[in-house]
Amino acid sequence: MSEQRIAVVRTQEPDTTTSTTGPTGATGPTAAGIGAGAVGGVVGAVPDTGTGADGGAGTGAVAVAVAHPNIALIKYWGKRDEHLVLPRTDSLSMTLDIFPTTTRVRLAPEAGRDVVVLGGRPAEGEALRRIVTFLDLVRHSARLPHRAVVESHNTVPTGAGLASSASGFAALAVAAAGAYGLSLTATGLSRLARRGSGSASRSVFGGFAVWHAGRPGQDTKAADLGSYAEPVPVADLDPALVVAVVDAGPKAVSSRAAMRRTVDTSPLYEPWAASSRDDLTQMRAALLRGDLQVVGEIAERNALGMHATMLAARPAVRYLAPATLTVLDAVAQLRRDGVGAWATMDAGPNVKVLCRRLEADRVAAAVREAAAGGAVHIAGPGPGARLLPEGGR
């Protein structure tokens, strides 16, 4: 197979809004944790002549990217613009060093439609529609009409509130930008990933990241540019997140539908959003001074508040299961025993427990007992999304 490296260089950010007026000229900071090839102006992609998931001979550029999930300590719950995926509040997360997603995108100029294979199976329904819509956005920005073959492998259960869409769309954003020759800064990649799934904007970065909601009331382009994630400065915390998988099955209500219903019907939504803004300010200060206890206390109250808004929605959205509460009891008992441990839950019954790395084994043992047979994983801060060299080969 002959491989010729191609590089597309743009000095301006392509426009990823629906506007067709061309590049915006915006640039953003680059970030540690993104593969060097994806940041600073050059994305390399390799023409592919092999057989892909479609079984046919291909001639398009190919790029492979890896990204890790992130867990929000200050939650994103509620959009102000569904199309642009603009949130109502800022959120803050830690990217994990477990459960990576690896995604390969190959341009298929000969194909009449996109082919998407998730975990070895052809995607269909809503999952396929979301990925094709995302690819349409990339095609529009790159001004390239080609269809693509996308193959993605998650190592985390999908749709179980374990942030599979965050790692999934962050990896897809980086791989698709590479294959289509889009030159994006880390900020631009974060904006692009956001359009696939809001939380994916944060997985572009390693460690701790804040996703700015941006200012409401702006025109489409300004609003799009104003909402991206960036790394958060932290003191030496040595944190771990112990992930207790009490149920790995897919959720009954998607987070997208559940957050819409919460915003539209929950009388607790606005008070939670207001307190979440204060939580974020206080958490950033606690991260800077390395105060894990305050970080943990804020994370737990922010998550419980988010679930309270859902429970007050009409009809109620309830992700927490009996096993979730058993794990929360174990976390409270750990604290009574003098172990720093604080829980957070997302759109599913699984619990993530923030603690010191040195105490993670003890926390994992207590949580394992409470999770009654569910898998327990220990995660540390992980890397940002990155392109793999030479198309991942």
Q: Which residues bind ligand DP6 (CB under 6 A)?
A: 72, 75-77, 85, 91, 165, 197-199, 255-256, 346-347
State the amino acid at position 216 in one-letter form. P
Question: Which of 129, 193, 192, 120 shows the shortest CA–CA distance to 163?
Answer: 193
Residue 277 CB, shortest distance to ligand DP6, in Å, is 14
- The DSSP line for 325-346 is HHHHHHHHHHHHTT--EEEEE-
The residue (of 34 and 317) whose beta carbon lies closer to ligand DP6 is 317
The residue (of 165 and 183) whose beta carbon lies closer to ligand DP6 is 165
The residue (of 187 and 199) whose beta carbon lies closer to ligand DP6 is 199
Structure tokens at 210: 């804040």
Residue 348 CB, shortest distance to ligand DP6, in Å, is 8
The residue (of 185 and 302) whose beta carbon lies closer to ligand DP6 is 302
Alpha-carbon distance of 356 to 99, in angstroms, equals 20
Alpha-carbon distance of 291 to 42, in angstroms, equals 39
Residue 85 CB, shortest distance to ligand DP6, in Å, is 5
The residue (of 47 and 168) whose beta carbon lies closer to ligand DP6 is 168
Residue 293 CB, shortest distance to ligand DP6, in Å, is 22
Residue 82 CB, shortest distance to ligand DP6, in Å, is 8
The residue (of 48 and 224) whose beta carbon lies closer to ligand DP6 is 224
Structure tokens at 85: 């995926």
Contact (Cβ atoms closer than 8 angstroms) between residue 232 and residue 200 = no
Residue 41 CB, shortest distance to ligand DP6, in Å, is 28
Tokens 């200012």 identify what position?
A: 215
Question: Which of 389, 391, 384 shows the shortest CA–CA distance to 185?
Answer: 384
The residue (of 192 and 334) whose beta carbon lies closer to ligand DP6 is 192
**Which residues contact residue 308 at a Cβ distance below 8 angstroms, ignoring those fewer than 6 apart?**
268, 272
Query: H or E segment at 279?
Result: helix 269-288
Alpha-carbon distance of 72 to 12, in angstroms, equals 31
Contact (Cβ atoms closer than 8 angstroms) between residue 215 and residue 197 = no
Q: What angle do the packed helices 125-142 and 186-196 form, to 10 degrees? A: 150
Neighbouring CB atoms inside 10 A of 206's CB total 24
Structure tokens at 350: 């699984």
The residue (of 39 and 85) whose beta carbon lies closer to ligand DP6 is 85
Residue 159 CB, shortest distance to ligand DP6, in Å, is 9
Residue 295 CB, shortest distance to ligand DP6, in Å, is 16
Contact (Cβ atoms closer than 8 angstroms) between residue 53 and residue 115 = yes
The residue (of 187 and 350) whose beta carbon lies closer to ligand DP6 is 350
Residue 250 CB, shortest distance to ligand DP6, in Å, is 13
Omega of the bond leading into 315 within 30 degrees of 0 (cis): yes
Residue 278 CB, shortest distance to ligand DP6, in Å, is 17
Alpha-carbon distance of 373 to 347, in angstroms, equals 21
Alpha-carbon distance of 182 to 275, in angstroms, equals 38
The residue (of 108 and 259) whose beta carbon lies closer to ligand DP6 is 259
